Amino acid sequence: MSAFANSPVRSFVLARLASGLVSIFFISILVFLGTALLPGDAANALLGQNATPETVLALREVLGLDRPLVLRYLAWLGNALQGDFGTSLSNGQQVTSLLAPRLVNSLILASSAAVIVVPLAVGIGLVAAMHRGKVADTVIGSVSSLFLSMPSFLIGYLVVFIFAVQLGILPSLSMVRASSSLTAWMIALALPVLTLVLVAQAHIIKLTRAAVLGVMSTDYIMMAQTKGIPRNTIFFRHALPNALSPIVSICMMSVAYMIVDVVVIEAVFNYPGMGKLMVDAVAYRDIPIVQACGVLFSTIFVALNFLADLLAMLINPRQRLPRKGN
């Protein structure tokens, strides 16, 4: 226990947790300011164009919009730390109760895509690295570059055009409920998951290939090659274990960026997740929902970045050794 208390892992965890909390704090400020400084007025948007100035003023007082911005932020932050993100302006329900099922749906979508894309893309990246400069490497690199150059919404529309419009084998909209059967969930998730896989795989493939080739160009690998050790032995026994740490970081970072793509993909397929809820809230100027979704997405992103760094450190023994002079 005392060894862990003085270990680099403990110092790293505490430092990263502190920086993560600071990042989330500043993100909350940006999210609150960004929504507060949007053009227009939430009271006017809720009451419509026919509302009288007196009615708008009364609603602004009810919503607290007449208070100074700093006081509004501090009150919002204090409530958010207690799990209270306020009340939806469009339907009067608690934001937390609206977010909970949508968050579960988004996590189901993102985790389903991650379970598929991580082993698939890492495997393809390893194949490209093993066959560097050959036909397989060229084809893999060309396809990856193609998907890298396409925005996620365009990939989603292409997937819909092929599988829903042309082939007619899958629905273009992913309309599911918590009570839906497992088969209905699998059908509804098929196209959104496929789109996320196509979006994320290109980054993982290219960066996995680069990480492995970077290790293959080191001096000790070249020394092993000059000794006549079989190429497969060098690749799997010496190069791959040393490339595992950056590969894990690559995968976790790709999953983190996938959270950003979830917002777009859910809007494309009308999937009932948190991203779709956020897009609808922006359209209806439902500020409390927009603020809560923005902070939650940012928190998940920061947490996945922390987990990526922690796993990379645990996998690489050299990072756990205490530095000389300490």
Paired tokens of 49: 């164009």
For the chain, which residues make up each domain, given as ranges? 2-81, 96-320
Lowest-pLDDT range, 65-69, 117-121, 266-270?
65-69
Closest CA to 239 of 250, 223, 253: 223
Rounded to 5°, angle at Cα 259 from 258 and 262: 85
The pTM score is: 0.80
Which pLDDT tens digit goes with each residue over 241-297?
Answer: 777 778 888 888 888 888 888 888 988 898 888 888 888 888 777 888 888 998 988
Paired tokens of 80: 């958010």
Cα-flanking dihedrals φ and ψ of residue 151, to 5°? -65, 155
Contact 57, 67 (CB under 8 A): no
Q: How far apart are CA 262 and CA 200, in angstroms?
A: 11
Which stretches within the chain are classed as H helix? Answer: 2-5, 8-36, 42-47, 53-63, 69-81, 95-130, 135-148, 152-160, 182-216, 219-226, 231-233, 240-269, 274-283, 287-315
Cα-flanking dihedrals φ and ψ of residue 227, to 5°? -80, -5
Q: Could you tell me which CATH class the domain 96-320 is placed in?
A: mainly alpha
pLDDT of residue 44: 60
Burial of 267 (0-12, 13-18, 19+ CB in 10 A): middle
Contact residues for 60 (Cβ-Cβ < 8 A; gap 6+) = 41, 43, 66
Which pLDDT tens digit goes with each residue over 121-151?
Answer: 988 988 888 888 889 889 998 888 888 888 8
Q: How far apart are CA 136 and CA 142, in angstroms?
A: 10
Which pLDDT tens digit goes with each residue over 16-41?
Answer: 888 888 999 999 898 888 877 766 66
Q: How far apart are CA 221 and CA 230, in angstroms?
A: 11
